[in-house]
Amino acid sequence: MSQERVVIIGASNNPERYSHRALLLLRQHGHEVVPVHPKLAEIEGIPVVADLARISGPVDTVTMYVGSSISSGLQAKLIALKPTRIIFNPGAENASLEEALQKAGIACEEACTLVLLNTGQF
């Protein structure tokens, strides 16, 4: 298993949220997580980044847990981040954003990060 650097857009400190569960499971699988949320300072002891523009260095995967009303405004920052792939979790689908990202050379998939991790497909 290779370790990835994974950005979680819509990260949450609420244990009931799927983005929180994904953060925990990603860490259990040995991945480095970079949670993104505009109002939180930390989650589970991990510093939270308020803005995608503040992330430097390579990013393997972005896992999206926000709806299209938020993600549409992130297009330029996602393209500038240059992740290898972006996972649109259930409820986070955004066809026009996916099309723009794919044109920029970023692989996109509509999938559940939790399922991918639990089935060895991540």
**Beta-carbon neighbour count of residue 100 at 10 Å?**
17
Q: How far apart are CA 48 and CA 74, in angstroms?
A: 17
> In this structure, are residues 60 and 84 in contact, taking their beta carbons and an 8 Å threshold?
yes
- pLDDT tens digits, 42-79: 999 999 999 999 999 999 999 999 999 999 999 999 99
Taking the C-alpha atoms of residue 33 and residue 19, their distance in angstroms, rounded to an integer, is 11
Please state the φ and ψ torsions of residue 32, each to the nearest 5 degrees: -85, 125
Q: What is the pLDDT of residues 71-102, one digit of tens each?
A: 999 999 999 999 999 999 999 999 999 999 99
What would the two tokens of residue 102 be? 């794919």
For the domain covering 5-118, report its CATH number: 3.40.50.720
**CA 103 to CA 101: how far, in whole Å?**
5
Domain ranges in the chain?
Answer: 5-118
